[in-house]
Structure 1
């Protein structure tokens, strides 16, 4: 079972990640926010690409649920921490973190 503490530890361990208050949540960002942790520590919102969101929600509906508004249509997905393992959290955060870094600079 993942917890708010393990979620935070895993998120902060990703390269160049910082955390800061974000409304009633804690945001994790590199170039942009890639995840937020709910104040009650029960869930987190993670930014996926739309195809990743669809896949994760179909594969593990007990862990992932698309947010039912415009944010969800942009890929923001709720992850419930109680049924998740630390490995689930790490995989989701790595994916979102990679997107937040943006495209790699091409060498000329």
Structure 2
């Protein structure tokens, strides 16, 4: 079981990552946003490639679920922090961060 402080610590430990306000959330970005943390700190949205999203949601449905809208069809996935451990967060954020670094500004 993890919390928003753990999520934030891990996200900001990734090379070049910064945080910034994003509506009522906190966004974590490098060249692009790769994750957002909900205002209540209970969940986060993470940007995966669609096939990664499908695998994460199939293997760990108690942790990951597809966002049910156009953002979800692009790979944005909700992570329930209370159901995740630190290794789950590290793996998810490192994957999303890799994609964000690869994007051009």
Could you state the TM-score of these two structures normalised by the residue count of structure 2?
0.97
Number of the residue aligned with 1:87 = 87
The superposition leaves residues 4-37 of structure 1 with CA deviations (integer Å, 9 ceiling, x where unpaired) of 0000000000000000010010000000000000
Please tell me the root mean square deviation across aligned C-alpha atoms, in Å.
0.7
Task: Give the Cα–Cα distance (whole angstroms) in 2 for the partners of residues 6 and 16 of structure 1.
Answer: 18
Task: Name the structure 2 match of 1:9.
Answer: 9
Q: Which has the higher helix share?
A: 2
The answer for unaligned runs of 5 or more in structure 1 is: 104-108
Counterpart position of 1:63: 63
Greater C-alpha Rg: 1
Aligned residues: 103
Unaligned runs of 5+ in 2: none
Q: Which runs of 4+ in 1 moved over 3 A?
A: none
